[in-house]
């Protein structure tokens, strides 16, 4: 279905002002996880936005441990959140009507197959607080995951574009690769070179 341009612009405006259902769902989820003492990190587009590359999304990505997800489900399923299907790790915020994609510590980005880069356990060493207070993945961790995903999942080219945009928006040097897992360093260098090109349109 093609939406009227006015509706698209209004939705985008709310999103970039941090007032969209996506943002409300993220804040509600974060408050609930904090109250339960469950470690988490916001990932995906909201984390990308927090680090300077603004783009929209239709869902909230959150990093949890298996134990954290199990504890959350035990207490809150049917009380504002539902599984997307029986046994799914994915959830739906029934208040905001927003999809919640859960990334589990120890699983692998991209194709899901074992590789040197895995989703870490959420905690102070891999997160930073963005201005609204949400804890998002730190830039090095976010870049590692985005690059590893794009390297192994041809159907996820946006992950590599996110990495290019993050490099450009943060004016990261080529040497920043030393802060990343060796598995992604060569790809970082390739994306860094792409980030130096100026658009001519």
Residue 2 scores a pLDDT above 90? no
Query: 165 pLDDT band (50/70/90 cuts)?
Result: very high
Q: Give the pLDDT confidence score for residue 4 in this predicted structure.
A: 60
CATH of domain 13-195: 3.30.460.40
- Most trustworthy range by pLDDT among 13-17, 133-137, 148-152: 148-152
Residue 80 near residue 95 (C-beta atoms within 8 A) = yes
Q: Tell me the whole-structure pTM to 2 decimals.
A: 0.90
Residue 188 near residue 176 (C-beta atoms within 8 A) = yes
Residue 164 near residue 154 (C-beta atoms within 8 A) = no
Q: Give the pLDDT confidence score for residue 12 in this predicted structure.
A: 44
Mind listing the pLDDT tens digit for each residue in 100-140?
Answer: 999 999 999 999 999 999 999 999 999 999 877 799 999 99
Residue 9 scores a pLDDT above 50? no
Provide mean pLDDT across the span 186-199: 92
Mind listing the pLDDT tens digit for each residue in 23-58?
Answer: 999 999 999 999 999 999 999 999 999 999 998 888
Q: How far, CA to CA in Å, does 12 sit from each of 3, 26, 95, 99, 149? A: 12, 17, 20, 17, 26
Instruction: Report domain extents, the chain.
Output: 13-195
Mean pLDDT of the chain: 91
Structure tokens at 154: 């041809």
Least Cα distance to 181 among 102, 110, 119 occurs for 119
Q: Give the pLDDT confidence score for residue 179 in this predicted structure.
A: 97
């Amino acid at each position: 279905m093609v939406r009227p341009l006015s509706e698209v612009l209004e939705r985008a405006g709310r999103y970039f002002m941090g007032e969209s259902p996506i943002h409300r769902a993220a804040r509600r989820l974060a408050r609930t996880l904090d109250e339960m003492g469950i470690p988490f990190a916001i990932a995906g587009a909201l984390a990308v936005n927090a680090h300077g590359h603004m783009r929209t999304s239709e869902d909230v990505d959150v990093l949890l441990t298996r134990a954290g997800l199990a504890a959350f489900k035990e207490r809150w399923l049917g009380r504002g959140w539902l599984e997307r299907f029986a046994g799914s790790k994915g959830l739906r915020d029934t208040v905001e009507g927003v999809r919640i994609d859960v990334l589990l510590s120890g699983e692998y980005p991209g194709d899901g197959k074992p590789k040197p880069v895995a989703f870490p356990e959420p905690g102070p060493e891999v997160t930073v607080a963005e201005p609204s207070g949400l804890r998002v993945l730190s830039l090095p961790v976010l870049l590692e995951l985005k690059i590893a995903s794009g390297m192994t999942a041809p159907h996820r080219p946006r992950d590599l574009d996110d990495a290019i945009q993050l490099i450009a928006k943060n004016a990261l040097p080529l040497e920043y690769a030393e802060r990343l897992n060796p598995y992604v360093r060569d790809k970082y260098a390739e994306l860094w070179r792409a980030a130096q090109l100026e658009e001519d349109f």
